[in-house]
Amino acid sequence: MEDGMSPLKWMVAFRLTLPVARRRWVPAYLFWAQRASINPAFPSWSVAMPCGNICSDGMVGNMLKIRLAPSIERADWLALGSELGKLEEAKVDLLHIDILDTSYGDTILMSPKLIPAICAATAIPLDIHISVGRPAHLLDAFLPYCKNSYIDIQMETTMQITSLLKRVRNAGGKPAVTLNPGTPLSVLEELVPYVDMVNLMIRTFSVPEPELDRQILDKIARIRKMLDEHGRQDVSIEVDGSLNFNDARQVVQQGADVLVLGTKTAFRAGHTYAENCQELREYLRTA
């Protein structure tokens, strides 16, 4: 680097030396490099140059770090403080929290009143999935605790999705939408400017589906293509739905970078959470 030349100017100059086909990577790199340098929530290890599908350091070709988001639903609720400590030891990236009524299944999960206690007990950012019949009536309960955390709104539950996403953004949170497996991507396209993450349910809630549907893998790839074509390489793709190790590898290869984990991965019996998460990271590195 020449004396007196800023890293930004150097990278712009470097871009001009690349073949045209390679130049498309540089703007995304600059985005993440700048973001890492000014925001402690994006440390330097979350940035990588493009390197194919999965590199040895767990990065994907779109340069978004593979992040692990264990679902609190699978933790021991009677020892939640201890469980959070174990997940911190496992160096997980997010805590996935489902807020459910019976709109899409037969389970009611997690009161919003638990969120302040969880925030007080851990510094791990939250990934709150709101799948209730009227999300607008609950959103205010989460907004004080959403800074640097994701609020995922089930898009099929509301006609007010854009206004809800704007409220999350204005409160300092990271707006996200969740899609059911059969929801067409045409409805997502209009929301691309408003979101920081798209969460795709890869299995129908409460319906046993042992094999991962090929259509779901194609859908992940189409979401990634849509986001990239709209200049949103920064938007993450999360997948949720009873992931096992092989599922995780397949969805990452299609462009997913946030994995919601349950009893087949992070909470697998017979191992510590740290052992399970490390094994999954190693498994993905060998893909």
Residues 25-61 have pLDDT tens digits of: 444 433 333 333 333 333 322 323 233 344 434 444 4
Tokens of 199: 């969460």
Q: What is the CA radius of gyration of the chain?
A: 19
- CATH T-level assignment (fold) for domain 67-285: TIM Barrel (3.20.20)
pLDDT tens readout for residues 171-229 = 999 999 999 999 999 999 999 999 999 999 998 765 666 788 899 999 999 999 999 99
pLDDT at 206: 59
Q: Of 159, 92, 156, whose CA–CA distance to 130 is shortest?
A: 156
Phi-psi region of 67 (alpha: psi -120 to 50; beta: other; left: phi over 0): beta
Q: Of 241, 232, 160, 147, whose CA–CA distance to 193 is shortest?
A: 232
Neighbouring-strand partners of residue 236:
197
Taking each helix axis from N to C end, the angle separating 25-38 and 7-16, rounded to the nearest 10 degrees, works out to 170
The sign of the torsion formed by the CA atoms of 55, 57, 60, 63 equals negative
Tokens of 21: 């086909």
The sign of the torsion formed by the CA atoms of 182, 187, 193, 194 equals negative
Calculated CA dihedral for residues 249, 250, 255, 257, nearest 10 degrees = -40
pLDDT at 14: 43
Tokens of 276: 């399970």
20 pLDDT exceeds 70?
no
Neighbouring-strand partners of residue 200:
179, 239
pLDDT tens readout for residues 121-132 = 999 999 999 999
Give the residue extent of every domain in the chain: 7-41, 67-285
Q: Of 52, 57, 32, whose CA–CA distance to 253 is shortest?
A: 52
Confidence of residue 140 (pLDDT cuts 50, 70, 90): very high
116 pLDDT exceeds 80?
yes
Half-sphere exposure at residue 54, Cβ-oriented, CA atoms within 13 angstroms: 21
